[in-house]
Amino acid sequence: MTALKETAFQFPQQTQFYKGKVRDVYTINDDLLVMVASDRISAFDVVLPSAIPYKGQVLNQIAAKFLAATQDIVPNWVVSVPDATVTIGKKCETFPVEMVIRGYLAGHAWREYAAGRRVVCGVALPEGLKENDLLPEPIITPTTKAHEGHDEDISREAIIATGLVSEADYIQLENYTRKLFARGTEMALAKGLLLVDTKYEFGKIAHQIYLIDEIHTPDSSRYFYAEGYQERQIAGTEQKQLSKEFVRKWLIENGFQGKEGQAVPEMTPAKVKEISDRYIELYEKIIAEKFIPVDNSNIAQRIETNVLAALKKLS
C-alpha cells in the first residue's frame, strides 16, 4: 500500500508553504489555502515514522461531510474539495486557541482528574466521577495552538485577560462550539455513536468568523459506541470507542508518551496495516458509507492535476 508522507508542489501564484504535523498547506495569492491531508500520523505531538495508507483520505472526506452539514451554524473556510485528500479554502487570520469541548470525562481530562486535579482549564469538576462518565453538561477546555511542541491547557479567563482573543470574539467562539457539538452529537447518535469530545478551530476575515480546518474526524474527536455504553460503565469495563486513542494506547503500552529520551516503538508493516484498517473502519462507522479508496498508484501526480484544475476554475 502506498502512502503520502511528503509533498513538494509549486502551484501557480503560490506565496507560502507550511508543513504541519499531518497537513501540508500551500498559500495561493495570499487569499486561498490548499490543504493536503497527508498520511502522516502524530501522537503526543510527535510525528510517527511511518505514514498510514488512506488516512489522509479518511480525514479529508469525513471533514468535508461534516463541514457541509454544519454551515448553517457557522460559515466555514471551504471553497472546494478537488481531491480525496485536498481541501481548498479561504485563508483566515487564525485564532491562537483550539476550542476543545467534552461531553464525557475521557482522555486528557480523565488523566488530569485521575491525578487529583478537579479544575481543568478553569472549569470545576465534581467529585466521584469515573473514567468515561457522562459530564453533568459539556465543558469547554481550550488549549493554546502551538506551531511547535505541545498545546497547553488555558482557561477562558486567561484567554481574555491576556488578549489572545477579544472577549466579544471568545463569547462567539464558545457559542459556535456548543452549537457545533450539539449537531455533532445528534449526527453521531443517528449512527449509533456518542461524540465524547472534539475540538474546533476558527479564523476570521474582516469581521466574519469562520470554522476552519477539520471537524468531527477521528483525529480531532473521540467517539464511543452507544450500544452497551451504560452497561460497560456500570461494570467498570473499557468503553468500545472510535478515535485515534487506540494508537496512543499502543504507544503508552510500549513506553512512549512523547517525552524526552523515549523511542517510538517499531511500526511493522502489520501494525501500519492494522492502523490503516482501523481508520477505514472509523470512516465507515462515522459516515455510514462504504469507504472507496482512491487510486494511490501515483498520489502526487493525481493531487497536482486535480488542484491545478480547481485553481484554474477559481482564478
> Residue 166's CB: how many other CB atoms inside 10 A?
12
Instruction: Determine the pLDDT at residue 151.
Output: 76
154-162 CB contacts, 8 Å cutoff, 24+ apart:
154/97, 154/121, 155/121, 155/122, 155/123, 156/121, 156/122, 157/122, 158/122, 159/97
pLDDT for res 45: 85
CA distances from 98 to 87, 155, 211, 263 (A): 20, 11, 11, 28
For 259-273, write each residue's pLDDT tens digit: 999 999 999 999 999
pLDDT at 79: 98
Residue numbers of the chain with a pLDDT score lower than 70 = 146-150
The kind and range of the H/E element at 273 are helix 269-287
Q: Which of 218, 137, 150 is nearest to 178 (CA)?
A: 137
How far is the C-alpha of 201 from the C-alpha of 223, rounded, in Å? 19
What's the confidence (pLDDT) of residue 242? 82
**Considering only CA atoms, which of 264, 307, 267 is closest in space to residue 53?**
267
Q: What is the pTM of this model?
A: 0.91
C-alpha to C-alpha distance for 146 and 22, rounded to whole angstroms: 14
Q: How many CA atoms lie within 13 A of 21 on its CB side?
A: 16
pLDDT score at 204: 97
Question: What amino acid is encoded at 162 in this protein?
Answer: T
* Largest distance between two CA atoms of the chain: 59
Instruction: Count Cα atoms within 13 angstroms, Cβ side, for 200.
Output: 29
Angle (CA) 27-62-3 rounded to 5° is 70
Q: What is the model's pLDDT at position 102?
A: 98
Strands, E, within 213-312: which ranges? 221-225, 241-243
SS3 assignment, position 195: strand
- Residue with cell string 462504504: 290
Q: Are 228 and 251 in contact (CB under 8 A)?
A: no
Contact 241, 222 (CB under 8 A): yes
Cα–Cα distance, 279 to 277 (Å, whole number) = 5
pLDDT tens for each residue of 301-311 = 999 999 999 99
